[in-house]
Amino acid sequence: MLYARLWLAGLALMLANAATAQDALPLSPTSMTEPGTASATAPCRLRLAPAPLIQYRGALSRGYDGDSNRVHTELGTLTVEHSGEACAYIVRIEPDTGPGKAALYSGAHSLDVRVDQLGREISQGDNVVEVHGSMPRGQPQRQVKFQVSVPPGQRVPAGQYVGHLAVSLFDSRDGGQELVTRQTVDVVTQVAPSVVASFGSDAQAGIKSMDVGFGTLMKGQEKSLEFSVAANTPYSIDLLSENAGQLRHEFTSNGIAYDLRIDGQLVQPAAGTETTILQGSTSSQHSLDFMIRTDTALALAGKYSDRLTLIIAAD
């Protein structure tokens, strides 16, 4: 009996205030406000503090994993700074291309993202978040929070993906919307290299071994099986034959030669040595075809077998 065994090699990519001093000044009758407090006549002034980078780490802090169905969100925090009189504001967060599709990019490849109000379930909306707030006199700042998520199940090539969100700050006193400032928030994630394989037509099926039974051996007898690979990075398929492409007798060194073809191409494995038989970079399906090459009429009675190992690993 001929045995074929698939060994999967996994690869994980790990991703990834100075204080100021001020001399004490005497308070004059026309300036009796305490330090850090706006005067009664100062108008409202609003600004956005520089926005921090949002690093999407994924559920296991390894970046985005297209093979996982776990949903993970990253928190985005913006700071609205204020001085002067009380006023109201609106902070608007949206894709830098406007409402609608939000994505991270790596060359020609894209990864869809979602932008939502903090705590909201992942939506299918226009990726626009508007936060309304107000600043009383003497309040120096407020934080505005939102969340960014990457929907599961997206298979894209490994690498770094970058996208941008536009953040606009409006002064909304008296019901108006006067643009105060606009800035960009960068969103970055790493897509880790992934190679998954299985016997059969589904690379996710997890079938790692398969027996190929010939029954009574005869010259010209054929058997076939298939295996599938799901990958987002270049990979190699190496073959290791325990008996160098022969079915070896169970008790003696006698052998019966067989031909092995992968996707129609003849493969000649060497004993104890890995032979690279294929290289790829995307998901694919492959066939292994076996044919008994030599005459078996005078072969010693008994069981004959070989053990094949397919080593599929990211390069």
DSSP labels, 211-263? EE--SS--TT-EEEEEEEEEESS-EEEEEEETTSSEEEESSSS-EEEEEEEET
For residue range 269-309, list pLDDT tens digits in order. Answer: 887 789 899 999 888 999 999 999 999 999 999 999 999 99
- Neighbouring residues of 71: CB distance < 8 A, sequence distance ≥ 6: 59, 122, 149, 151, 152
Which pLDDT score is estimated for 230? 93
- For the residues 22-38, what does the mean pLDDT come to? 40
Which residues sit opposite 144 in a β-bridge?
A: 78
- Res 13 pLDDT > 70: no
Question: Percentage of the chain surpassing pLDDT 90?
Answer: 72
Fold of 195-314: Immunoglobulin-like (2.60.40)
Dist. CA 122–CA 315, nearest whole Å: 35
On whether the 45-191 domain is CATH 3.90.550.10, my answer is no
- Res 252 pLDDT > 80: yes
Which pLDDT score is estimated for 141? 96
Q: What is the DSSP letter of 108?
A: T
Cβ count near 203 (within 10 Å): 23
DSSP H or E run through 106: strand 102-106
Dist. CA 246–CA 2, nearest whole Å: 9
For residue range 105-126, list pLDDT tens digits in order. Answer: 999 999 999 999 987 766 667 9
Tokens for 291, please give them.
């044919």
Which pLDDT score is estimated for 123? 61
Which residues sit opposite 171 in a β-bridge?
A: 89, 178
Ordered by start, the domain boundaries in the chain are: 45-191, 195-314
Domains 45-191 and 195-314 share a fold: yes
- Res 39 pLDDT > 80: no
For residue range 186-241, list pLDDT tens digits in order. Answer: 999 999 899 999 999 999 999 999 999 999 999 999 999 999 999 999 999 999 99
Amino acid at 282: T
Whole-model pTM above 0.75? Answer: no
Which pLDDT score is estimated for 58? 92
**End-to-end Cα separation, the chain, in angstroms:** 33
Which pLDDT score is estimated for 14? 30
For residue range 41-96, list pLDDT tens digits in order. Answer: 689 999 999 989 999 999 889 899 988 888 899 999 999 999 999 999 999 999 99
Question: Which residue, 32, 40, 36, is CA-closest to 81?
Answer: 36
Task: Say if strands 307-314 and 2-8 run parallel, antiparallel, or are unpaired.
Answer: parallel
Amino acid at 231: A
Compute the residue count for the chain. Answer: 315
Tokens for 62, please give them.
């390894």
- Res 11 pLDDT > 70: no
Determine the Cα angle at 285 with ends 242 and 288, to 5°. 35
